[in-house]
Amino acid sequence: MGTETRVFAARADKPAITDKRLLKGARARETVLRRAVDIASLDGLDDVSFGRLATDTGMSKAGIQTLFRAKEVLQLATIDYAREMFIDAVVRPARTAPPGAERLRSLVEHWIEYARTPLFEGGCFRVANTARFDSKPGPIRDALFRNQQEWTDAIGRELRTAVAAGEIAELDIDLAVFQIDSALCAANTALRLGDEDVVEKVRRIVRNLLVEP
Amino acid sequence: MGTETRVFAARADKPAITDKRLLKGARARETVLRRAVDIASLDGLDDVSFGRLATDTGMSKAGIQTLFRAKEVLQLATIDYAREMFIDAVVRPARTAPPGAERLRSLVEHWIEYARTPLFEGGCFRVANTARFDSKPGPIRDALFRNQQEWTDAIGRELRTAVAAGEIAELDIDLAVFQIDSALCAANTALRLGDEDVVEKVRRIVRNLLVEP
């Protein structure tokens, strides 16, 4: 379980909040960020601004500014919040499956459910924003890319475990990770456009990669 | 060549422009649209506005409004213009290759070159905007989806030709089209982030699909 603490582990310990004023602040933060991830998945992180969030949540713009100080701080907090939601919806439930092929299939199934439901108004948060920020160097692109890396690392780890345990035949891990992640990203878009057939395509791509040795 | 007239054919005949005033209008249109596709690939079609284009091109806002009347007309013209540029860069050069496996490989190679150069400031126009508009029904989403369909139809047609001619083994055409297009879209993002290794991954995915019968 050594690797598990590195990938998709919490980035910082969150101390329990006891002070009432702090608790109120934490709740306001939560309200703002929950709305911010929907805006970001639908209209992009650029639209995550103090003014838009004040309008959408009914909170005061000054109050939101006090909580987050600068637009970029707010945007980075939104990315972190979306990451936590993604972990709760996709990564954590898959941990009940044994590592290797079974956990990989579980990750994919939970991802499909996540893109289909969808958890965010505009579908996958990462897909929606990576296309927007991939040509714009800076802390936002770095944070999105770090999350992307964390996700592909998780897929790669399960594939490696499956090969090492003799569950599946040897394969080029990097290529397989790229194929699975590409298919999931494309499926997210297809699902937004109402194409449900894409789900079976994704499952077949994964089945074709996970062949018995 | 019967199918060729349907896929990636010009949508309307363009009459030759002789009148001087009309010629000037056509040139202004060209200047505006060339800038508009860059804005759209970098910041998204939402940012394609009369004001932004006036600032960027030095033309008057009123003049641009006269040419395009409404923002949505301008946005749809931008999509059409990007489509023409894509055809010139990727589809037309591949037509020198014989239909089937060879033309498919040529389409992929020209696509890689197109994403790598890149033709548009923010990389692939379609990838950048499909993620932005996939949750927003309307004429813009329809136009983007039509272009997406036209592109995947072109890939499918070459695969079908290759199978029929016995150049490659039977395969699930829809699944293969999805795999190739997903890989190209993901490669566009990876190239924006400086990951050149992705090019070899795309080539291997295509090679693995185009196996001898």
Residues of A with a Cβ under 8 Å from any B Cβ are 41-44, 46, 121-123, 127-128, 130-132, 134-136, 141, 145, 172, 174-175, 178-179, 181-183, 185-186, 189, 192-193, 197-198, 201, 204-205
Determine the Cα–Cα distance for residues A157 and A149; give it in Å rounded to an integer.
12
Tell me the angle at which helices A125-133 and A20-43 cross, rounded to the nearest 10 degrees. 70
Q: Which residues of B50-64 are buried (b: 16+ CB within 10 A; e: fewer)?
A: bebbbeebebeeeeb
Mean pLDDT confidence for A198-210: 97
CB contact under 8 Å between B44 and A132, yes or no, is yes
Model pTM? 0.88
Determine the Cα–Cα distance for residues A39 and A42; give it in Å rounded to an integer.
5
- Name the minimum distance, in Å, from the CA of B123 to any CA of chain A: 8
Counting every residue, how long is chain A? 213
Query: What are the pLDDT digits (tens) for A99-153?
Result: 999 999 999 999 999 988 877 777 777 887 887 888 889 999 999 999 999 999 9
Which strand (E) or helix (H) includes residue B26?
helix B20-43
Single-letter code of the amino acid located at A72: E
Chain A, chain B: beta-carbon pairs less than 8 Å apart:
89
Please report the pLDDT score of residue B7 as a whole number. 64
Please report the pLDDT score of residue A3 as a whole number. 42
Residue carrying the six token digits 């994919």: A108
Cβ neighbours of A128 in B, within 8 Å: 131-132
Whether A87 shows a pLDDT value over 70: the answer reads yes
DSSP, res A98: P
Chosen for mutation from A174, A182, A188, A192 (greatest number of chain B CBs closer than 10 Å) is: A182
Whether A77 shows a pLDDT value over 70: the answer reads yes
Query: What are the pLDDT digits (tens) for B41-71?
Result: 888 898 999 999 999 999 999 999 999 999 9
Query: What are the pLDDT digits (tens) for A45-70?
Result: 989 999 999 999 999 999 999 999 99
Whether A210 shows a pLDDT value over 60: the answer reads yes
- Name the minimum distance, in Å, from the CA of A21 to any CA of chain B: 38
Please report the pLDDT score of residue A5 as a whole number. 40
Chosen for mutation from A39, A52, A135, A172 (greatest number of chain B CBs closer than 10 Å) is: A135
Closest residue in B to A201 (Cα–Cα): B175
Domains and CATH numbers, chain B: 18-209 (1.10.357.10)
Burial class from Cβ neighbours inside 10 Å (0-12, 13-18, 19+) for residue B15 reads exposed
Cβ neighbours of B181 in A, within 8 Å: 186
DSSP, res B49: -
CA dihedral B39, B41, B42, B44 (to 10 degrees): 80
Q: What is the ipTM of this complex?
A: 0.85
Please report the pLDDT score of residue B54 as a whole number. 96
CB contact under 8 Å between A185 and B181, yes or no, is no
Using DSSP's 3-state secondary structure scheme, residue B7 falls into: coil
Please report the pLDDT score of residue A180 as a whole number. 97
Whether A17 shows a pLDDT value over 70: the answer reads no
Instruction: Indicate the average pLDDT of chain A.
Output: 90
Of A132, A134, A204, Cβ closest to residue B132: A132
Please report the pLDDT score of residue A13 as a whole number. 55
Residues of chain B with pLDDT under 70: 1-7, 9-18
Q: Among A60, A189, A12, which Cα is nearest to B141's?
A: A189
- Name the minimum distance, in Å, from the CA of A129 to any CA of chain B: 8
Please report the pLDDT score of residue B125 as a whole number. 80
Contact between residue B28 and residue B59 where contact means Cβ atoms under 8 Å apart: yes
CB contact under 8 Å between B186 and A189, yes or no, is no
Cβ neighbours of A145 in B, within 8 Å: 193
Contact between residue B157 and residue A99 where contact means Cβ atoms under 8 Å apart: no
Please report the pLDDT score of residue B189 as a whole number. 86
Please report the pLDDT score of residue A1 as a whole number. 38
Copy the structure tokens of residue A83: 């990451």
Cβ neighbours of B192 in A, within 8 Å: 134-135
Please report the pLDDT score of residue B25 as a whole number. 85
Rg of chain B in Å (alpha carbons) = 19
Closest residue in A to B142 (Cα–Cα): A193
- How does DSSP assign A7-66, residue by residue? TT--SS--PPP-SHHHHHHHHHHHHHHHHHHHHHHHH-GGG--HHHHHHHH---HHHHHH
The percent of residues above 90 in pLDDT, for chain A, comes to: 70
Single-letter code of the amino acid located at B193: L
Query: What are the pLDDT digits (tens) for A160-171?
Result: 999 999 999 999
